[in-house]
Structure formats: C-alpha cells, structure tokens
Amino acid sequence: MKLNAIVAGVGMTPFGKHMDTGLKALGADAVKLAIADSGLGLDDLQAAYVGNAAAGLVTGQESIRGQVILRSIGLGKLPVVNVENACASSSTALHEAAAMVTAGMYDIVLALGVEKLYHADKKKSFGAFSGAVDVEAMQEIMKRLQESAKQSGAKSGSSGAGEKRSMFMDIYAAAARGHMEKYGTTVEQFAGVSAKNSFHGSMNPRAQFREALSIEDVLASPMIAEPLTRPMCSPIGDGAAAVVLVSEAKARELGIGRPVKVTSSVLRSGWDHAYGEDGAGEVCSRAAYEEAGVGPEDLSVVELHDASAPAEVMAYEYLGLCPKGEGGKLVSDGSTRLGGRLPVNTSGGLLRKGHPVGATGIAQIVELTEQLQGRSGERQVEGARVGLAQNGGGNIGPDVAAMVVTILQT
C-alpha cells in the first residue's frame, strides 16, 4: 500500500550526555518543538506512537513510557501506543503512525522517539545493547565473536565485549574484517566514513560531537575492536525526536504549500539464511523503492544506520547505491560527502550526531524533512527532492532483528 501521510512538523533535542535531564523532559522538549513547527496545538493530536528501546533497563520506567512522557505536558485521553523494536523503535513508531493516517483512522498523529542511555553504572548502558540479541544463545555468540577476533589476530576484539563496550561493536568488527577479506575494502575507507560524517556533524548544532576529524585522526584514535577505532563506533547518548503527521486533507486545510510526503515505509524482521545471501536490508529497500515509485538513482540524500563506520559501507551496497563490494569506493571518491553525487548522513549520522537508540529513527526523518524543505543551513543538499532513511536494530544469527526503510518526497 502506497502511503500518503504528510509531515506537518518536526522537532529534535540536541543529542548528547544529559545526566540531569530525565526521559520525560527530553521527550517533552521534542514534542513541543514538533508541535510548534507544525503550527498546530497539543489538543489537535488524535493519537501518539512512542518509540523507546531501553528505558526499562536504564531508568526502570516500564510499560507506560509514552503515557508518562505525554502526561507531563498535559496530553491525556488520546490513544498512546508504546513501541519497542531495538534501534528501529522510533522508525517503527513512524511506520505505524503513517499507516494509520493513510488508512484514514486519524488526521493528526504524533510519532516520538526518546532514549536515555547515559547512567552512572556503565554496565546498565551496555546491557541495553546486550539484550538486543538472543540472550539464550549469548554464550555461543560471545564464543563465536572471540574466535573470530583471535583467528584474525584482533587483540582488542578478543575480550571486553558487553563490559567495556557494546557487544555490537564486536559484531560490526567481525563483519568489517570479513568485508575487507572478501572485497579488499581498506581500513582507510572505513576511517573515511567517520571523517566524512564528522565534517557533516561539525555543521549540525544538535550533533553530539562537533569536531571535524581527518582520516589520519580516526586511524590514530584508540582501538576498540579491530579494525574499529573509537570514531568508527557510534557513541551512546540521550535525546529525543518527534514528527507530526497529517492526512492529505488536513495538509490542504493547513495550507502546507510544499508538503513532504511519507511515500513508503517498509518494516521487516530478519530470518535464517546463509551468510552473504540477501537479507532484510535488500528486501526492505527493494520493497520501499517499489512502493514509492523511485529507485536508488532518484535519491537526493540518505540518512542511514551507521552504528559503525563499516555498517555505512555495507548499507550502500544493500540499499542498491552501488554493486556489492564497491561500497568503499563511494567513500574514497567523495560520492557520499556533501557536494558529492549522493550525500549520506548529512546530519553527522549516528557516528557524530549520536545514537540515543529509541530516538535515532525519527531523528533521521527530522534531518531528511529539513533537507527536503531547504532549511538545513550550511549542510543543505541543493535541490533535494527525495530522501531515504534506513534504520535497523538487534541481531539474530546472520541478520538484523528489525529493519525499516522509509522514503520521503516533495
């Protein structure tokens, strides 16, 4: 089904370390910004979908996260649906909200993503990621990661997963080593992703890190899990992002002159398949292109899930931006940098904008909406008309646990 929801307003807090700001305050700030951007009032909202992944583990708030946040700013009575789907929590919330608007159930819906990951006890923060795999198979997963690291001579990757860092960095590191061996991708190309995104993030006032880095800076940074140095790994963070979606009829009533339309949102889970075979990324992107009536060649700007630098390179390939094995070339030839053929992660991506897990998906939509409306300032992509967001989370076996690909068009 082709979607026809319209983005009426967006809002986002700065991402970063907000030790003195709670989940309610972060979420409330993003909602207020999105409502103000839409020109509507809080009382106009007819339903809300709230994405969050880790509040239960990190803050102890379970079950009614969305209701608690919204009641803090006087929003009650309306239906509130809490959505938890790993790193794809808020993009899943947006998917559900857009579907309900398209189906005619509501005319004005809020989609919110919010997360607090910083905690005095770092094990709580890392535990939020360790729970996004099959925990009954944890011992086997850790053994496999350690064996992969030892076989490749990766000293840093041989211990510390889930304690000193998110275990997902070890999963990405293993995938990166495999990509290098199979396709000849270089560590300099992976470092180039971090350098590019740091350049973009340096121009984003809401980004967690604003320092521009060179490839040499990235390579000289502390090793986390070979070949990933610290800037090649997304940080934990706190923050929130929100979108107000309206129906086409309501958009006309509001006088939205150049509407940004959600023309496709495809949600899939991974499955058991052989390593190297097409997975959720390929399936989601193909379905999204077909649903929106566009192809990779039509894209103006992309926000994708660079939870690690190698993840961005691999996403280029399964999104159809280049053939398999050629993702590294898009980095080294400047294609995905601002001014290049197809700018990717103009926000700074997860690597520099930050990765408050439950807020990440909608933060991508905020960036794309502003790009398509021509209000991204010095990081504006000239003439942007079609944007794609890719947001995945969790891991089971050979594939991501949840994946969402969303396409916006003006």
Residues with active-site annotation = 87, 355
CA-based torsion, 287, 331, 410, 370: positive or negative: positive
Please provide residue 116's backbone torsions phi and psi, each rounded to the nearest 5 degrees: -125, 115
**3-state SS, residue 301:** strand
Contact 86, 69 (CB under 8 A): no
In 268-379, alpha helices (H): 280-292, 309-318, 327-332, 349-352, 357-372
Contact 160, 222 (CB under 8 A): no
- Could you say which DSSP state residue 278 is in? -
Q: What is the 3-state secondary structure (H, E, C) of 344-373?
A: ECCCCHHHHCCCCHHHHHHHHHHHHHHHHC
- Could you say which DSSP state residue 161 is in? B
**Alpha-carbon span 261 to 243, nearest angstrom:** 12
Contact 79, 70 (CB under 8 A): no
List Cβ neighbours of 162 (8 Å cut-off, separation of 6 or more).
126, 127, 129, 130, 142
The CA-to-CA distance between both ends of the chain, in Å, stands at 19
Please spell the DSSP secondary structure of 390-410, one letter per residue: EEEEEEETTEEEEEEEEEEE-
**Alpha-carbon span 293 to 317, nearest angstrom:** 20
By 3-state DSSP, what share of the chain in percent is helix, strand and coil, each rounded to 5?
Answer: 40, 20, 35
List C-alpha distances in Å: 188 to 88, 318, 329, 343. 29, 21, 11, 19
Q: How many CB atoms lie within 10 A of CB 71?
A: 14
Name the token pair of 58.
């990190």
